[in-house]
Amino acid sequence: MNVGQRSVAPQPPEASADQIMEAVRRLRAGAVVAFPTETVYGLGADAESDAGIAAIYRIKRRPAGHPLIVHVPDRAGAQYWAEIGPRAAALIEAFWPGPLTLVLTRRPGVASLACGKESTVGLRCPSHPVARRLLAAFVAAGGHGIAAPSANLFGRVSPTSVGHVFDDLGAETPLVLEGGDSEHGVESTIVDLSRGFPAMLRPGSISAAQIEAVLQEPLEAPGAAGPRVAGALAAHYATATALELVAPPSLAERLAQCLQRGERIAVWSRGDPDAGAAVLWEPAPADPVAYARRLYATLRRLDGQGLARILVEEPPAEPQWAAVRDRLGRAQVGAGTR
C-alpha cells in the first residue's frame, strides 16, 4: 500500500438488478421472497395476494390472523392503505425512510388478509437500499405494498443476515436478496395512531422520546384494547436453550448455583465471570446501539453451543435500552420450550 493510501473495508455483496426483477416477478405471481431491511431480514409477499400471504403464514408457521407489516416506498404509497393524518404526516416526515411502523386505520376495500382482518394496518418505509430498490421496482410493476414479517420461524430469534434465513427456513427458503448484516438489529418501533391518541406498541431504535419530540405530546400506554401487532406476544425471539435475565448483583450467585448442578452455561455480561471452562463468556457491549445490533446474532450463536442455559446480565433500566430489554424479556419467556 502506498504511504497515505487508506484501506477500504470490503462491501457486502448486494442483490443485482436481475435478482431484484426476478423477486418482483415472483411477488407478482403470488410467491414469497426474503429481503434485507435495516432492522432484520423480512419474508415478503404481495400484500394484496391471498396466495402470497398464505405462503408467509405456512412457511413461518405463524398463527393464522396474526397481522403483518406492509412495507411501502414512501408517503404516497402509504396513502393507498390508510388516511395520513397530521400526526402520521409529522412522523413520516421525521423518520421515513427508517425503522418506524405506523398503525393507522385501514382504508375500506383494500386487502385485509395481510392485516389479520383488523380494521388497522401497520405501515413502514424501510431505508435499506436493497429494500428500497425492491419496493420501487414492485410499485413500477403495479404493486402497492410488500407484507413482510421477519424471515424466520415464528417465535424464534429474528434473522439479521442471509445465513440466519437459511438456518431457520431450510428447504422452505425462497429467493433471498443479499444485503449484508442488518444495521439496527432489532425490529422497528411501532406507534399506534388509530385511536385518536398516539401509543407506543413496540419499542425500537427510534425512541419514545424522539416520537414525543416530533408530536409535541406524550405517548400513551398501549392498553388492552389496542390493535394486534407483530412481535407483541409475551413469548417471542426465543432460543431453544433456556435463557434467564439476571440482575447484575445476583449474577455471581446464580452462576454458582448453575455450576453446582454441573451445568455448562453461557454468560452474556459486561464483566468476566472468570468461572473456568464450564462457562462460555460473551462480553456485553456497554452501548445500547451496539448491543441491539449484535443481539440476535449473539443469541443465535450461543444457542448453537449445546449449553444447558444462557445467563444474560440485565441491561440498564434506562430509556435508551428499552428495545433491548423488551426483546430479551420476551426471549426469556419462550426460551427452552421447544
List, by residue range, all CATH 3.40.50.11030 domains of the chain: 242-334
pLDDT tens for the chain, 338 residues: list them. 343 444 444 556 789 999 999 999 999 999 999 999 999 999 999 999 999 999 999 999 988 878 999 999 999 999 999 999 999 999 999 999 999 999 999 998 888 889 888 899 999 999 999 999 999 999 999 999 999 999 999 989 999 999 999 999 999 999 999 999 999 999 999 999 999 999 999 999 999 999 999 999 999 887 656 676 665 666 678 999 999 999 999 999 999 999 999 999 999 999 988 877 789 999 999 999 999 999 999 999 999 999 999 999 999 999 999 999 999 999 999 887 65
Homologous superfamily in CATH for domain 17-215: DHBP synthase (3.90.870.10)
Q: What is the pLDDT of residue 25?
A: 98
CATH superfamily for domain 242-334: Threonylcarbamoyl-AMP synthase, C-terminal domain (3.40.50.11030)
For the chain, residues classed under CATH 3.90.870.10 are: 17-215
Residue 338, pLDDT score = 52
What residue type is assigned to position 260 of the chain? Q
Asked if 128 and 136 touch (Cβ cutoff 8 Å), the reply is no
pLDDT (0 to 100) of residue 8 = 47
**Tell me, what's the pLDDT at 12?**
60
pLDDT of residue 13: 74
Say what the pLDDT of residue 229 is: 64
Q: Is the pTM of this model over 0.75?
A: yes
User: What pLDDT was estimated at residue 1?
Assistant: 37
pLDDT attached to residue 235: 67
Question: What's the confidence (pLDDT) of residue 230?
Answer: 62
- Residue with the three cell numbers 443481539: 295
262: left (phi over 0), alpha (psi -120 to 50) or beta: left
In the prediction, which pLDDT does 4 show? 43
Distance CA(261)–CA(214), nearest Å, equals 52
Quick check: 146 and 44 in contact, CB under 8 A? Answer: yes
Beta strand residue intervals within the chain, DSSP E: 33-35, 42-46, 69-71, 100-105, 120-124, 146-147, 175-176, 189-192, 199-202, 242-246, 265-269, 279-283, 309-313
Residue at grid coordinates 392503505: 81
Whole-number Å distance between alpha carbons of 59 and 338: 18
* pLDDT in the model for residue 228: 65
